Amino acid sequence: MHSTSLRVNLADTVLRRAQRNPERTALIFEGSQQTYGEFASLVRKQATLLRESGVCCGDRVGFVGFNQPAFLETLFAANAIGAIFVPLNFRLTGEELTFIINDAGIHSLIVDDALQAVVESVRKQLCCINLFSAEGTFDNWRSLIAERGASNELAETVMVHNDDVALIMYTSGTTGLPKGAMLTHGNIMWNNINAHFTFASSRDSVNLVVAPLFHIGGLNVLTLHSFSLGSTLLLMRNFDPKAVLAAFGEYKVTHMFGAPAMFLFMSQHEDFDMTDFSHVETLVCGAAPPPESLLTLYEQRGVAFCQGYGLTETAPFASFLTPEWSLKKLGSAGQPPIHSDLRIVDNNNKVLAQGERGEICIKGPNIMKGYWNRPEATAEAIDKEGWFHSGDIGYLDEDGFLFICDRLKDMVISGGENVYPAEVESVLFKHPAISEVAVIGLDDDKWGEAVTAVAALKDGSSLHLDELREFAAQHLAKYKIPLRLHIVDQLPRNPAGKVLKYVLKEQLS
């Protein structure tokens, strides 16, 4: 039996906030503002539309599009009727979207205008029963809501439990096939509690979000946290350094989440020196550690950084480096949040001593329920004691601060996006000129890491980067396409035949 004290629903957060403070500003987007009362009304109406369209408790509802209020309305509306929300990466090709949509079994999909052509190109291959437009060209759900009248609002949310799934967020795997991490209502709630105890935003905060909402960082560092506090979310459709800098003064921004590349591009813009940062309390940086020069530059403007390490599977916070430590523990990913634990283990799952390198493992109420329809992958990732094995290599120093050294999974982080070499390699192997290929990440001043293809060619063949990129673009999202190409006679391998990627990195760095 479930304990009644553990009954929660993510949608209740915003709907109850609207009952108590309907006049407070919930959301600012492209110059227009919505109060909590107005936002909650739209959520209730969309929830009714989804229910009348056949969406039942446990069904999946997807959204593909750029940052906009419709994304958040769909998330809360789906949860309100006990459905599971599935955010989709707007950078994916039709082929990539088809796999994820059908793997999740999405019942109803909301699409914005910018992605309509991509979805329409594969529509016959999709399992979706309903396809709605977020902005107006076909089966516009806002118009459908208006036709039903103002009275057609969901009266009560469906009662769900702490361990019921709220979101399925897809993260690429080393096999090349994405896996859906099942995040529960409880995972989201506890992650937000951890966040609150770390960077202490308040009901009067103005939280700027420009990172993609389909990412766990964009969605659950500040966005859902903002709604849980009843503060104001300033949402931007996409990242533009000039517009972001202008927003700090215009809206008195107190908090922002971003990848190091975003903060770098902001600092390089001509408006940076005249930007009003006087209301900023904390900038939260994730995806990769920011360089000392960037931290110092912002520190000279009186701006503090809170750095975070996390994964989709940890909802996302696994550790924090709070502002007072940003320069004293430069390069560290910080300490685990209040309600989570972290340890380093060897290949036999034995806990290692301080300073010894091993796999980073995380445990707490923020750890995902598992991978959607992947029991074997779930068992590999979460051990019998409940520890999530991250696949990242690190160590703890004498003060218990985490330092990340490498990735077991060979993941490349380019511009804040996770790129998994196996997925890219499987596409590049199909090129008629390539005999064998390995994909690695090499340091890059602009993107953090550049996706780099190292290829051995078939006899008599030639290959240029532009040609390779054009070939890959037919199958891969733009951020996964190699930025560099190195031609070699053969790839270095160990006696078992495994490609030695660390040797390639040493040779090419």
**CATH number of domain containing 421:** 3.30.300.30
* Residue 151: per-residue pLDDT: 57
Residue 178 belongs to a domain? no
Q: Cα(234)–Cα(306) distance, rounded to whole angstroms? A: 19
Q: Does residue 203 share a domain with residue 274?
A: yes
Report the pLDDT value the prediction gives residue 361, as an integer from 0 to 100.
Answer: 97
Q: What is the CA radius of gyration of the chain?
A: 23
Residues 110 and 220 occupy one common structural domain: no
How far is residue 474's CA from residue 172's CA, in Å, rounded to a whole number? 18
Looking at the fold, whether 139 and 192 belong to one and the same domain comes out as no
**Is residue 367 one of the residues assigned to a domain?**
no
In terms of domains, do 124 and 73 share one?
yes
Given a contact cutoff of 8 angstroms between Cβ atoms, the answer to whether 318 and 340 are in contact is: yes
Boundary residue ending a domain (161, 193, 215)? 161
DSSP string across 71-103? HHHHHHHHHHTT-EEEEE-TTS-HHHHHHHHHH
Tracing tokens 């209502």 back to the chain, one arrives at 185
What phi and psi, each to the nearest 5 degrees, are found at residue 382?
-120, 115
Q: Does residue 37 fall inside a structural domain? A: yes
Residue with tokens 């009560």: 156
pLDDT of residue 404: 84
Same domain membership, residue 75 and residue 212? no
pLDDT of residue 1: 39
Domain count, the chain: 3
Q: Are residues 96 and 138 in the same domain?
A: yes
Query: 442 is in which domain, residue-wise?
Result: 412-508
Same domain as 115, residue 73: yes
Same domain? 114 vs 220: no
Contact 213, 71 (CB under 8 A): yes
**244 within domain boundaries:** yes
Number of C-beta neighbours around residue 346 at 10 A: 12
Amino acid, single-letter form, for residue 167: L
| Domain CATH number, residue 50 | 3.40.50.12780
Token pair of 193 as six digits: 């509690």
Residues 6+ apart with CB under 8 A from 194: 317, 337, 338, 339, 340, 364, 366
pLDDT (0 to 100) of residue 176: 55
User: What's this model's pTM, rounded to 2 decimal places?
Assistant: 0.84
Give 445's contacts (C-beta < 8 A, 6+ positions apart): none
Specify the pLDDT at position 497: 58
- Say yes or no: 397 and 460 in one domain: no
Contacts of residue 303, Cβ cutoff 8 Å, sequence gap at least 6: 277, 280, 283
Both 41 and 73 in one domain: the answer is: yes
Reading the chain (509 residues) residue by residue, the pLDDT tens digits are 344 445 679 999 899 999 999 999 999 999 999 999 999 999 999 999 999 999 999 999 999 999 999 999 999 999 999 999 999 999 899 998 999 999 999 999 999 999 999 999 999 999 999 999 987 666 777 777 777 654 578 888 888 999 999 999 998 644 457 899 999 999 999 998 998 888 767 889 999 999 999 999 999 999 999 998 999 999 999 999 999 999 999 999 999 999 887 898 899 999 999 999 999 999 998 877 777 778 889 989 999 888 889 999 999 999 999 888 877 888 788 999 999 999 999 989 999 999 998 899 999 999 999 999 999 999 999 999 999 999 888 899 999 999 887 666 677 888 888 787 877 887 898 899 998 899 999 988 888 899 999 999 988 999 999 999 999 999 999 999 999 999 999 888 755 556 888 889 889 88
CB neighbourhood size of 319 (10 A): 24
Cβ neighbourhood burial of 460 (10 Å; 0-12, 13-18, 19+): exposed
Q: How far is CA 507 from CA 318, 421, 450, 452, in A?
A: 33, 18, 15, 13
For the residues of 163-227, what is the DSSP string, one character each? TSEEEEEEE--TTSS-EEEEEEHHHHHHHHHHHHHHH---TT-EEEE-S-TTSHHIIIIIIHHHH
3-state secondary structure 245-305: HHHHHHHCCCEEEECHHHHHHHHHCCCHHHCCCCCCCEEEECCCCCCHHHHHHHHHCCCCE
Distance of CA 332 to the CA centre of its chain: 21
Are residues 296 and 439 both part of a single domain?
Answer: no
Q: 498 by DSSP, 3-state: which?
A: coil
Residue 484 lies in a domain: yes
Flag whether 194 is in a domain: yes
96: β partners: none
Last residue of a domain, one of 342, 376, 409: 409
Please, what is the Cα angle at 145 between 141 and 147, to 5 degrees?
Answer: 115
Q: Do residues 404 and 450 share a domain?
A: no
Helix, strand, coil share (%) of the chain residues, nearest 5: 35, 25, 40
- Is residue 18 domain-resident? yes
Cα separation, 10 vs 76, in Å, equals 7
Query: Does residue 172 form part of some domain?
Result: no
